[in-house]
Structure 1
Amino acid sequence: MAGCFITFEGGEGAGKSTQIARLKNRLGQLAQPVIVTREPGGSPHAEEIRAFILGGHAKHLGPFAEALLFAAARIDHLDKTITPALRSGTHVLCDRFADSTRAYQGSVGNIDKGLIDQLETVTLQGVKPHLTFILDLPAEVGLARAGARQAGKGEGADRFEEEDISFHQSLRQAYLSIAQAEPKRCVVINADQDPDEVETAIWTALRERLPPMTEPATRPLDVA
């Protein structure tokens, strides 16, 4: 695949959408081909599943049922959006991916790691991010940000935002454990700072890990 697949992970209110938009803009200025997508969602059928899950309709079914729904959405997302873009040489910036299932349903939902591994193998078919940014900040800070965003839009909390503080604290630790287990793929970014500083940290890490992406696009990228 010629395109680079970069995912953004983190708890609620970590600023993923903001930083993805900023990175897309910087890459666009370099004429790097790039699309932005999200999970759950990113394709028509996956967006339908997103609405069902975040509306809380699957909560009573338990974490494993939610994990299966996320997997179904992810399969459609990969087939319709991610894989075709990467094969065409387009970079993909994705707001959440498989690490979210590992953190939310696996670690916090107490689903056996082996079961999550098997589900991921079937779902991903070998497609994994070249780089994952984990935006880290205290759970209470993230929830306050998320609450302010909802108030500004006149929206209520979704299925996961409405969980108690202990859920979100455990979620933060789950993400840090993922980063510790896969340091070659994951970069932890301090998201408890000014957005400009977060953007700089992300760009610095990108230049170190995937330098061709941070240069003007003059030739196809050679990414293993």
Structure 2
Amino acid sequence: MRRGSFVVVEGGEGSGKSTHLKRYEKYAGGGAELVVTREPGGTPIAEEIRGLLFSERGKDLSAEAQFHLFWAARADHLKTKIMPALLRGANVVSDRFDASTFAYQIWGEEHHGLISLFRVVREEMMSGVVAPIYVYLDIDPEIGLGRKRRSTDTNSFDDKDLEFHKRVRRGYGEFSEFARVIQIDASRDIEEVWEDFRTTLDKLLA
């Protein structure tokens, strides 16, 4: 049986990442099986870990503790949801994956000492997994944060300063050493971005 394709959608704050993915899920309804999931989360255990990471208690965790919790959630996500879906031939699209850990926790938070550990853990964790292709919605942080301020969909990262988000963007650029990344300019009109996003996912999931 043909294995499904694995696509990850990534982007900084205000890139429209989740909005376009929700729209794509509706657009693709009724076709071949499509599993849309998210990180951190996607399974009951991973969602519990997400709750801890984004709680007030989670803010007190060390960088190393946060790093390992993200990967613990990812391990359960891969074993429980992603790999079974891919093996039965379904396509999987995840709203964030390990590129977010690299961009936000390592580059954004300036914990570059974790890069070597990231490389080792990623190699071990992704062994035998269908290699994901990353679709990255790139946007200048100033534009992205401006959009977020006009939105009701906010999170703790919106409180970070502009320099943090610039580092996150740099981290996404550096992540390309690990995987194939397709970049889409998300600063354009939302319909232009949607057309690029839709046609890109159509090709990757065909």
Deviations 1:161-192 (A, max 9, x none): 3211110111011112223x35x721111111
Amino acid at match of 2:191: D
Unaligned 5+ runs, structure 1: 215-224
Amino acid at match of 1:71: W
Aligned residue in 1 for 2:9: 8
The TM-score with structure 2 as length reference comes to: 0.88
> Kindly tell me: are residues 192 and 56 of structure 1, through their superposed partners in 2, closer, same or farther at Cα, counting changes over 3 Å?
farther
For residues 142 and 122 of structure 2, the distance between their equivalents in structure 1, rounded to whole angstroms, comes to 30
Name the stretch that deviates more: 83-92 or 109-118.
109-118
Aligned residue in 1 for 2:175: 178
Name the stretch that deviates more: 137-146 or 45-54.
137-146
Give the match's secondary structure for 1:3. coil
Deviations 1:56-93 (A, max 9, x none): 42232232211111001101111111111111111111
> Kindly tell me: are residues 17 and 157 of structure 1, through their superposed partners in 2, closer, same or farther at Cα, counting changes over 3 Å?
closer
Aligned residue in 1 for 2:47: 47
User: Which one of the candidate residues 124, 130, 145 is aligned to 1:122?
Assistant: 124
Amino acid at match of 1:95: D
How far does residue 128 in structure 1 lie from its aligned partner after superposition? 5.1
Identity of aligned residues (%): 37
For residues 8 and 28 of structure 2, the distance between their equivalents in structure 1, rounded to whole angstroms, comes to 15
Give the match's secondary structure for 1:125. coil
Alignment partner of 1:165 is 2:162: yes
Alignment partner of 1:37 is 2:37: yes
The size of the alignment, in residue pairs, is 203
CA contact (8 A) 2:139 2:186 kept: yes
Name the stretch that deviates more: 78-87 or 16-25.
16-25
For residues 47 and 4 of structure 1, the distance between their equivalents in structure 2, rounded to whole angstroms, comes to 23
For residues 74 and 18 of structure 1, the distance between their equivalents in structure 2, rounded to whole angstroms, comes to 22
Amino acid at match of 1:41: G
Amino acid at match of 2:155: A
For residues 128 and 12 of structure 1, the distance between their equivalents in structure 2, rounded to whole angstroms, comes to 27
Alignment partner of 1:22 is 2:23: yes
Aligned residue in 2 for 1:141: 143
How far does residue 129 in structure 1 lie from its aligned partner after superposition? 4.2
User: Which one of the candidate residues 114, 119, 133 is aligned to 1:131?
Assistant: 133
The TM-score with structure 1 as length reference comes to: 0.81
Alignment partner of 1:194 is 2:195: no
Amino acid at match of 2:61: L
Consecutive aligned runs of 4 or more in structure 1 exceeding 6 Å deviation:
none
Unaligned 5+ runs, structure 2: none
CA contact (8 A) 1:85 1:92 kept: yes
Amino acid at match of 1:120: R
For residues 202 and 92 of structure 2, the distance between their equivalents in structure 1, rounded to whole angstroms, comes to 16
Name the stretch that deviates more: 193-202 or 42-51.
193-202
**CA RMSD, Structure 1 to Structure 2 (Å):** 2.1
Give the match's secondary structure for 1:45. helix
Amino acid at match of 2:192: E
For residues 4 and 84 of structure 2, the distance between their equivalents in structure 1, rounded to whole angstroms, comes to 10
CA contact (8 A) 1:75 1:124 kept: no
For residues 190 and 56 of structure 1, the distance between their equivalents in structure 2, rounded to whole angstroms, comes to 34
How far does residue 207 in structure 1 lie from its aligned partner after superposition? 5.3
